[in-house]
Chain A
Amino acid sequence: MRDRAVRVVSTYFLPRDLHPVAWWVWALGIATAASRTTNPWLLASMLAVVGHVVVVRRGSEPWAMSFRLYVYLGAFIVVARVLFRVVFGGAEGPSIVLRLPEVPLPAWAAGIRLFGDVSAESLLGGLYDGLRLATMVICLGAANALANPKRLLKSMPSALYEVGTAVVVALSVFPQLAESVLRVNRARRLRGSTSTGRRALRSVVIPVLEDALDRSLRLAASMDSRGYGRAGDATPRQRATTGFFMVTGLVGLCVGIYGTLDATTPGYLGGPMLAGGLVIGMTGFALAGRRVQRTRYRPDRWHLAEVVTAGSGVLVAALVLTSGGADPAALNPSLLELSWPLLAWAPLAAVWIGLVPAFLSPPPVPPHDELDDVPDDRLPTHDHDRDDQPVGSRA
């Protein structure tokens, strides 16, 4: 027991990639909290927390660099929301800050207003609303930047393994297609075809598709001869049972969801159906997974650091939601009268819990070319120096 504790402590901060699900749970937790508040202080601190963790804990892979795009998207959302209030007239509230001439619209467009008076309250409303949406989007971006999407697919339940592989393969097709298009387009110039229109399209599309088809056939042959989709020893009867469970479960789920969303359906079609479908579907899943004879190479394990990371996200969501129950005004500042939004300490403290992974998670593995070519005895000895460097300073 003690040995185990020693092992956990001594290996805790060794560089490794955290389980992708841990990052997703963490990010979704903060996103959930963000969905419940329009308080700009809280939202801004969420953004700060998420941004800091991403900068400190992301690797150097291409998807890690995508975070910036999500930030741009977030900024765009905020600006768009505010502009909408100006264009489609936001005159709720007493303090008018901008008087624009109203564009008269025909009768059929009743209910829509173009320009006109703009109040500070409605501008602020747009800002808060946009900020909330932007924070949620940026949280998703953070998960995307921190978790290797391919490893995420790999940690799917084994019953879904084959679907996962198909998705991975499909994803790798796109860069290849782009490459083919570039190559063929360049080759077209060699034939002197500068034509545009249908014939040009054809001279690009046909070689590209032929190439893609060839490639996928060869890939399929390779996968087949390497054992993809081996039946193992499941009997047809077992397969039928699994299939029955899965389909019944899915039907139950669909009916259940419909029943929950549509208030006019009888009650027993809602919750109970949903629960029943879920149970049956999960049984099918478990059955299918048990029969899969596949194993995983170095699967991502769920260690203490994963629990800490995911737990911090869940805690943020739970604490912000409960504090909202106790004091709704702290989460959604009133827009009826113009005033500084109040800052309540309880939800703010809850949000800062989201910062825990920045300190209590292992750093990402450094890129291969930095270390792999160095013989072991010449590796830099002060590993801590490496940790303390802000990894994200590249961004």
Chain B
Amino acid sequence: MITLDAVSFWYHGQERPTLHEVDLTLEEGELVLLTGRTGAGKSTLLGTLNGLVPHFTGGHLQGRVTVAGVSTHERPPREFAHLVGVVGQDPLAGFVTDTVEDELAYGMEQLGVRADVMRRRVEETLDLLGIAELRRRALRTLSGGQQQRVAIGAVLTTHPQVLVLDEPTSALDPTAAEDVLATIARLVQDLGTTVVLAEHRMERVVPFADRMLFVDADGRVEVDEPAALLARTPIAPPIVRLGREVGWDPLPLSVRDARRRAGAVRERLEVAGAPVDPPASTAPPLLQASGVVVRYGPKVAVRGVDLVLRPGTVTALMGRNGSGKSSLLWAVQGSGPRQGGRVAIAGKDPKELSATRARELVGLVPQSAADLLYLETVGAECATGDVEAGAEPGTCATLLESIAPGVDHARHPRDLSEGQRLALVLALQLTAAPQVMLLDEPTRGLDYTAKATFVAVVRRLAAAGRAIVVASHDVEFVAQVADRAVVMAEGEIVSEGPTRDVLGGSPAFATQVAKILGAGWLTVDEVGAALGRTP
């Protein structure tokens, strides 16, 4: 169907190739899972499949990509629209029209599909993806998971032979992500569509994957059976890391597989004893918020929420998209709207202080962290950050070095990796030396390794006596980083307590390890440490 023949690719001005001598043949009806570190060239590889790379991105492509016998050298991507359907990370950015039905029809209109066929296919696709009740809704008013399903539907209507999905769940909360992945699995099983999928929540799709590709840092691509390849790749989901830790072979790829084999391990863990958390901090709180209310017109985003943050504690704020997490953080910081309630930090309300004073008390790294950056180099951003915070020159640079060592100060902030950019914004905010730090969805776009690094950074900040809040729907990340977890729904707190109780006690928020070994165990590291204690 699609053949890559010794394909190498360079972006202009780069010495090392992003892709290096890739040979690949996609067979009909298979699901291929693509993995690799963030920035390793996964998106580039996906882009070559319909010619967006290099027609759209520039750069130099060596070798030959053929789609249904036609080389992508010869025709622009639009001439492959009937063969290859592409769905990106951010569905909203790719929508051309503004209602669900029109969006589903758009691709077919371009291909000149007959009107009656279009009508039929739109109805079929609405049912297939379970979005029939959304048909006349405006795309902007849909939730993230719904948008992503519409985006998949919009390319499915043209009946492409290959469906290419680039991290379709990276912006979604766990439930929405499950929905989308379940939809993809159904397409593969029921329709026999060929699917190429880059995905970091791989454990949901690995059971269906026929083959797995791993792009390494040099741009080489390894191709193998999922179980065989996962045994040796540096990035792996917790389930695989657990399998490696306890020496299962072949590796279990789904929670179900792992559970059925976990009996012996569970017995050994029982002997070792459940992990014990350090006692909750009783230090006087740094920040106390009570009855916080945020409303946007008639819509109430936060309904009288109380929040107590103690020094040295990391609090995780969880809940689905739109449950009021961000609004709460912004209200507590003082920069966002707040219609009721009180916030007290060192006896003051940040809302009544100037922006400069407020950020010396409580800092916030927003969801789209890049909004804070506007200069050409990392060095210039740091220097400005020092001036804005009234700190000693070099404070910000030192902080950056301690969070993310080795960031080149001459680079443009946009050219940094996702993790480095987050580190830069965090350093900028820490320059003002706030004792309370709020982080809104910091792990978006970070792979397993980058997340582990970031966990260490957050723990270090907390150990220095700060109170930290992380809003996140990444349960694995929360399990590693947080002492306490607060779950919000519809602007109210629905559960609150030590992370282990909150995450272990609920099937929706349980980590993979908890699903396999029981509620007491959250992370692979805990299991490893416990097993180390027993012979």
Chain A residues at the B interface, C-beta cutoff of 8 Å: 150, 165, 168-169, 172, 183-184, 186-194, 202-203, 206-207, 210-211, 214-215, 218-232, 293-299, 368, 372-373
Contacts and interface: CB of A to CB of B under 8 A. Distances in A.
A227 B81 contact: yes
Contact of A297 (B119, B158, B336): B119
Given A193-B388, A297-B115, A225 B84 contact: yes
Interface of chain B, helix or strand or loop or mixed? Answer: helix
12 contacts: A183-B371, A186-B366, A192-B358, A207-B373, A218-B94, A221-B56, A229-B78, A230-B111, A232-B112, A297-B105, A298-B101, A299-B115
Contact of B110 (A214, A220, A227, A299): A227
Given A221-B52, A225-B84, A297-B105, A168 B97 contact: yes
A230 B110 contact: yes
B339 interface: no
B86 A225 contact: yes
B359 A228 contact: no
Contacts of B112: 232, 293-295
A172 B154 CA distance: 19
A245 B203 CA distance: 59
Interface in B48-90: 50, 52, 55-56, 76-82, 84-86, 88, 90
A298 B106 CA distance: 11
Contacts of A226: 78, 81, 85-86, 96, 106-107, 110, 154-155, 158
Given A187-B372, A218-B88, A224-B52, A294 B366 contact: no
Nearest to A215: B93
Contact of A225 (B50, B356, B358): B50
A206 B78 CA distance: 31
Nearest to A205: B374
Nearest to B80: A225
B195 to A, nearest CB: 16
Given A190-B355, A226-B158, A372-B133, 6 more contacts: A191-B428, A218-B93, A221-B94, A226-B78, A295-B108, A295-B109
A53 to B, nearest CB: 24
A192 B414 contact: no
Contacts of B109: 294-297
Interface of chain A, helix or strand or loop or mixed? Answer: helix
A308 B208 CA distance: 58
A225 B388 contact: no
Interface string B107-141: 11111111100110010000000000101110000
Nearest to B56: A221
B366 to A, nearest CB: 5
A188 B388 CA distance: 11
B354 interface: yes
A207 B79 contact: no
B364 interface: yes
A298 B88 contact: no
Given A190-B364, A207-B374, A219 B359 contact: no
B114 A219 contact: no
A188 B366 CA distance: 11
Interface residues of B, number: 70
A190 to B, nearest CB: 5
Contacts of B79: 230-231
B480 interface: no
B102 interface: yes
Contacts of B374: 202-203, 206-207
Contacts of B330: 186
Contacts of B7: none
| Most chain A beta-carbon contacts within 10 A, residue among B98, B333, B372 | B372
A51 to B, nearest CB: 28
Contacts of A194: 354-356
B25 interface: no
Q: Top 6 nearest A-B pairs by Cβ distance? A: A227-B81, A297-B105, A222-B94, A227-B110, A187-B371, A293-B112
Contacts of B111: 227, 230, 293
A227 B158 CA distance: 10
Contacts of B113: 295
A169 B98 CA distance: 9
Given A218-B90, A294-B110, A189 B81 contact: no
Contact of B122 (A215, A220, A225, A297): A297
Contacts of B102: 297
Contacts of A299: 115
Contact of A230 (B78, B97, B336): B78
B388 A298 contact: no
B343 interface: no
Contacts of A220: 56
B287 interface: no
B506 interface: no
B50 to A, nearest CB: 5
B89 to A, nearest CB: 9
B429 interface: yes
B133 A192 contact: no
Given A189-B355, A224-B78, A150 B98 contact: yes
A63 to B, nearest CB: 12
Contacts of A193: 355, 388
B388 A192 contact: yes
Contacts of A165: 96
A206 B371 CA distance: 9
B363 interface: yes
Contact of B96 (A192, A214, A223): A223
Given A192-B355, A192-B389, A215-B93, A227 B82 contact: yes
Contacts of A298: 101, 105, 115, 118-119
A188 B428 CA distance: 12
Contacts of A186: 330, 335-336, 366
A214 to B, nearest CB: 8
Contact of B133 (A190, A221, A373): A373
A225 B52 contact: yes
Contacts of B154: 226
